[in-house]
Amino acid sequence: MQMLHQRFAARRSAAAVALTFVLGSLASAQCPVAKVSAQDSTQTERLGWAVATHGDWLFVSDPYTNFASSDSGAVFVYNREGPESPWKRTQILTQPTPVDSDLFGYSLAVDGDVLLVGAVRQSATGPLSGAAHVFRRNDSTWSHAQTLSPPNPTYKEEFGYAVDVEGGLLVVGAPSNGTLGIRQGAVYVWRDLGFGFATFEAAIYPTSVQSQAEAGTSVATDGVVIVAGAPFDTANGKGSAGSVVQFGKVGGVWIEQQRIVAPVPETDGQFGTAIDLAPSYLAAGSPRDDTFGAQEGTVFLYARTAASWSLAQSIAPAAATLASTVAFGSSVAMTDDALVVGYLEQCCQGDAAGVAFWERNGAIWTETKQIFAPEGGSDDKSFGFDVAITDELIVVGAPEDSDPLYRYGSAVIFDRTRTDCLYASPVNVPVGQGATVSLRSYSEPANAGDLVMVLGSATSSLSTISIDGVALPLTLDAYTVLTAVQAGSPTFSGTVATFNGAGQSQAFIAVPAGLPTALVGVSLYHAYARVALDGPVPVLVAASNPIAVRLGN
């Protein structure tokens, strides 16, 4: 995995297709509903390096793509028209003047109609000092609005290594800033006053951390306070034990309010590698912490009490998945009652990495799910490199996910609200080469034995098919008839099936090679209908999300 230097984090009477898959012990609350990867000739190197989502918008970056120039970077924008619509790529964003090795897209954050993108090697105001770019949405289009840069840059300070935006505050971390000491770090603040322009407010140089602490490796804000991770700070005499510093604005001036370290600082624990804020909680990842095993990692959760933070809970993955160098806490994202944690060096599930999902009940956080890459395998060691969460979605980046046709990187979208889900892979099929598309579906174990039927549409995912009051997100057309008539054929194998004991099933669609080039750009939409067979008559009880397979060059 390519890094700027040795910082650890650089861190889903008709029949159709039945499908489902095993996601470790993942149950129904997180359905994989889409995977985004490169399309056609758009070659990527590390798609999924950073991910961010807000509402029906999704942003996935690749700072190493050669889309505009070598390693200049890009951000891929996806949108859906609502929960029953598939995700579609709508834009590719770059900085106004792409330059080789700028690494635009190294970090991402979005809040409402404001997107903030870091470009850590852009020479905006100093050699390789870095920059951050503000994009704003007007209707359905995101446009570049402003370039942020450090007012007094230092050489290679990595401005833009981490970014966050919330409640009108735009925060940029520069972990290699040397103003107070070698790579001691800095945090910069802009304020959005609502006129389409953010004004510079402060450059903060943490004084409570030591030289080479790299404060600003991670940053988070709730619009009032700012927290910055310094994973290489010395704590209690332990080198690279790490710390997190909170800043608040008092009397118009940003000041340090609290320095947080692990309960028992450990050498090379790297506390603060990843952080996130929720209204009542702060999560700090320490991926090399030894609390629960040799460098397996820990996430420390802090509860807000008045103007400070107090330790609420220390968490690690379930014992069944623990292994040496799990690196739990490499990435974190949270709401006030849910937390996702990435661990990049997990030993199991086909030697793949994974994500743990925790939920809060009162004051207690409990691991309820483990999420692995749908395809599994050793190519998914980067699954969980970056994560994002909302009340509806979880997004997981996998920048080293390997696709022989479209090179590297992907992001997988999980729906927290669904119990019936459909997932396809690959989602891009070249008409010349064709491919076998794996269609995986699953529901809850309680629905084992239910009949699964998947229909298709080449027109759209608008819900015009309704059976027994259940609407399938498909439009009736010739492809619908084809998937029904040829159900179970070699072309549509396993398209009628029953859920196994885990509430899962899988089928395959064989897209032939040599299709007419006139079909380039056509999307084949699919959704399954679930039929309960345990009553006196079969009853259609549910439908899945729609999933699109796009035909490309």
Could you read off the pLDDT of 194-241 as tens digits, one per residue? 889 999 999 999 999 999 999 999 999 999 999 999 999 999 999 999
Sign of CA dihedral 405, 343, 441, 379: positive
Helix (H) or strand (E) holding 482: helix 478-485
> Which pLDDT belongs to residue 202?
98
CA distance linking residue 286 with residue 22, whole number of Å:
29
Sign of CA dihedral 202, 208, 213, 219: negative
Q: Return the structure tokens found at 308.
A: 């400070």
Q: What is the dihedral of CA 194, 196, 200, 205, to 10 degrees?
A: 80
Task: Give the domain ranges of the chain.
Answer: 31-417, 435-552
CA angle 310, 312, 313 (to 5 degrees): 135
> Was domain 435-552 assigned CATH 2.60.40?
yes
Q: Answer whether 495's CB lies under 8 Å from 17's CB.
A: yes
- Which segments within 10-153 are labelled E, that is strand? 31-36, 44-47, 50-54, 57-62, 74-79, 88-93, 104-111, 114-119, 131-138, 141-148
Q: How far, rounded to the nearest angstrom, does the alpha carbon of residue 443 sit from its chain's CA centroid?
A: 23
Question: Which SS3 state, helix, strand or coil, does residue 71 take?
Answer: coil
CA-nearest of 275, 299, 297, 300 to 288 is: 297
CA distance linking residue 226 with residue 222, whole number of Å:
7
- Helices and strands, number each (H, E), in the chain: 1, 41
CA angle 57, 59, 65 (to 5 degrees): 155
CA distance linking residue 207 with residue 256, whole number of Å:
8
> Which pLDDT belongs to residue 325?
55
> Which pLDDT belongs to residue 346?
57
Q: Return the structure tokens found at 174.
A: 């520069």
CA distance linking residue 86 with residue 69, whole number of Å:
30
CA angle 117, 122, 124 (to 5 degrees): 100
Positions of the chain with pLDDT under 70: 1-29, 39-43, 68, 295, 319-325, 345-352, 376-380, 403-407
CA-nearest of 94, 120, 126, 95 to 107 is: 120
> Which pLDDT belongs to residue 369?
84
Q: Residue 426: is the preceding peptide bond cis (ω within 30°)?
A: yes
CA-nearest of 247, 281, 283, 277 to 262 is: 283
CA distance linking residue 321 with residue 408, whole number of Å:
26
Question: Residue 476: which region, alpha, beta or left (left: phi > 0; alpha: psi -120 to 50)?
Answer: beta
CA distance linking residue 47 with residue 272, whole number of Å:
24
Q: Answer whether 124's CB lies under 8 Å from 70's CB.
A: no
Q: How many CA atoms lie within 13 A of 518 on its CB side?
A: 1
Q: How far, rounded to the nearest angstrom, does the alpha carbon of residue 135 sit from its chain's CA centroid?
A: 19
Instruction: Count other C-beta atoms under 10 Å from residue 88's C-beta.
Output: 15
Q: How many CA atoms lie within 13 A of 42 on its CB side?
A: 20
Which residues 6+ apart lie within 8 Å of 330 measured at CB?
8, 9, 11, 273, 274, 285, 287, 297, 342, 343, 344, 384, 385
CATH architecture entry for 31-417: 7 Propeller (2.130)
Q: Answer whether 220's CB lies under 8 Å from 203's CB.
A: no
DSSP state string for 369-427: EEEE-TT-SGGGTTTTSEEEE-SSEEEEEEEEEEETTTEEEEEEEEESS-SSEEEEE-S
Q: Answer whether 352's CB lies under 8 Å from 377's CB.
A: yes
Partners of residue 276 on adjacent β-strands: 283
